[in-house]
Structure 1
Amino acid sequence: MKVIVIGNGGREHTLAYKLLQSSRVTQVFCIPGNAGTATLERCQNVPLAVDHFEGIARVAIEQQIDLVVVGPELPLSLGITDYLQEQNIRVFGPNKVAAQLEASKSWAKSLMYEASIPAAHSGTFSDIESAKTYLQKQGTPIVIKADGLASGKGVIVAHTEAEAQQAVDELFAGGFTKLLIEDYLEGEEVSILALTDGLTIRPLLPAQDHKRVGDGDTGKNTGGMGAYAPSPLVTPELMERIQQEVLEPTLQTLKNRGIDYRGIIYVGLMITPSGEPKVLEYNCRFGDPETQAILPLLETSLIELILACLEQRLGEFPPIAWKNESSVCVVVASGGYPDSYEKGKVIKGIKEAESEDVIVFHAGTICKDDHILTDGGRVLGVTAVSESFETAIEKAYQAVNLIQFEGMYYRHDIGNRLLGKT
């Protein structure tokens, strides 16, 4: 099989790497890919934008592509699945209507209410005045969310009224026309990525992301500074509860709305101090960096799982097999991220960092004049797999310490909560 992977981040490098482990996959084309995908055997980058649907379709037809796997949310929200399906090109990823699960926070919230899914109480606002009036009434802490795609950075947790008012001003000034304001939930966050064929929904290993840019979960929200899997917070009993109270009702309500959803449903959950799972958000694709932590543990063939979803055979598919190990991903970023940062810095030490237990997934990188250069905010995802979280964390940071580029930044506490540290 020939496969196209759309996207240029760490998630897409991981998807290409995992797909190529199957003997059924003969070649992968990454659109546009990065310096990491460029070095994979049987993988070729194609320099097209992720929203250049016509060009992507042309490559698929010319190369006789059997499957397109869509990584990022932007092309999904713009309708790439619909576009390619009209030309009889097989795509893994929801259509434009279904992608509203991520593209519109208010659409997703209405689905939660309709499905009676446990979630924070919220209000939706299209003007500054009504939003600020609601804030004054509700008090703080409170959560303000942009109602649209914001690359994981459109959520602000305000602990004072001044912070909340500023968040409203900034998000409306940033071009968003609608905001969601939610009650603040206490607890610990967990990410559940689930495969669905529109009839059946099956979770992958639970993961925990580290959204804040600074150690100790301080500073601004980012697209994610690191992740680990499987999260010990999610016991088999809690996973069963998530299946019954969240995943099944979500899929059923999508079906009730006439939506044939085949792809990944990512559920961001808050596990409250009482142990109750409450939905914070949905995403319509593989998470990033959760994918870099989860997929290296997958023993079942990824391509076979994807085909089972597309052919609506997930219900009869054997149990998903996993390595009995732990995985930790540390994101290495450009200095200044998630605000402004410089590109074009030479990266050294990637080969030295990789080993039998460590994979360096590229995110914001490019190849130029035989050098690998930084080309984004999140540059690399250093993933270590080991028999325990303690050794996986140790190996990940040993590898990170071998990598160098000007302005390099990373959190030093990924996985600390697993070791009883804060």
Structure 2
Amino acid sequence: MLKRYSLALGYYDKALDALAMTRDSSALYAAYANKGDCLMQQNKFAESIASLKKAQEFINPYITNNHKAVLYHNFAYAYSQQKDYAKAFYFKNLENITKDSTNTESIGKAIAEMSAKYELRKKQDSLFINKQELILADAKTKENQRNFIILSIVSIAGVIVFIGIYRIRQLRFRNSLQQKQAEQNALKLTHKYQLSESELKAIRAQMNPHFIFNVLNSIEAYIMENDKRTASRLIQKFATLSRLVLENSTKRLVPADREWKSLMLYTELEAMRYNNAFSYNFLMDDNIQLNRLLLPPMLVQPLIENAILHGLIVGQQPGGHLEVQMMRSDKNICITVADNGVGIGNSKNTIAKNVVKEKSLGLASIKERIEILNNQEGDYTATFEIRSNEDGRGTIALICLSYYEEA
């Protein structure tokens, strides 16, 4: 078979121009889906995905599940070729869900057909028995028997109508449940994908290359100055922090004592890296048991990073201080990160403006992750706010989470 894809694409473009006037969604869906398939055969995956997305916009109730399954299959293949495996996995799941829905509908139709054949055979047998009884009956009762047959036929017809209506309603209800389940599964997949992306951003923020390189440079400087004891301490703390980050990143909730330890290690490393240019302390309510409390990992660290790099270190102001406090309130656990640095409102020069811009990116990532946590967990609530100190100097960031303990 000739593979004249370029010629086919020309025809599809002409067809789309004509169909745009008719607004026939089914025809537009078919044209864009076929055009996306042609582009994919030519390894033009970016253009193919764009055309497949246009086809997705014209999906309507008249598009069969088989056609939608083919569309999701093409999406998964195109994204896999672009090495976007998260989206490829997402559309592959949609393809499987759509195929499962098609199989369920086929089984339901087969059951309904078998039930109808069984009822028909049952009625035929009943009619045959009635006819035999009519043959043996006395001629004087023929008229009464005839009336009985008519009444029986009417009753059977009513039963058939009732069964048919009942089966139709049952199938509609089942299809509605399956559709809602498919939508819920698709929504869960979307939330899991978004949460995974947000957690990856948090990992990259906590162990970014600049931080790693700067710590290694500090270790090198201590070695060159023959301060082997300090260099050894720095290496041990850096190794412990790296292990905690990697272990915590694989879990949705981690014990609070491990997360608290990683925050203290990170802060201590930053203080050593800047020659103790600022002081810090970590406070906690007495009624909090860290070994039983569960927290989302890598959620508070960006706030400490912002406080140090964009508040305490800017301008090398003397007397810089960072305070991290964990408090329990009713069913919530609240973590406060406060500093006495330049503050979020004092961006008078170019450097400060760049600081605020970079800081807003980290805060946006935290807000995004909290929103995903609230959407994914029905009984989980999380809030985040940031404000300046009352005297205008320094910043206070507050994160409140649901209080979860290990069972």
Which TM bucket (shorter chain)? under 0.3
Higher strand share: 1
- TM-score normalized by the length of structure 2: 0.21
TM-score by length of 1: 0.20
The structure whose RCO (Cα within 8 Å, separation 6+) is larger is 1
Instruction: State the structure with more CA Rg.
Output: 2
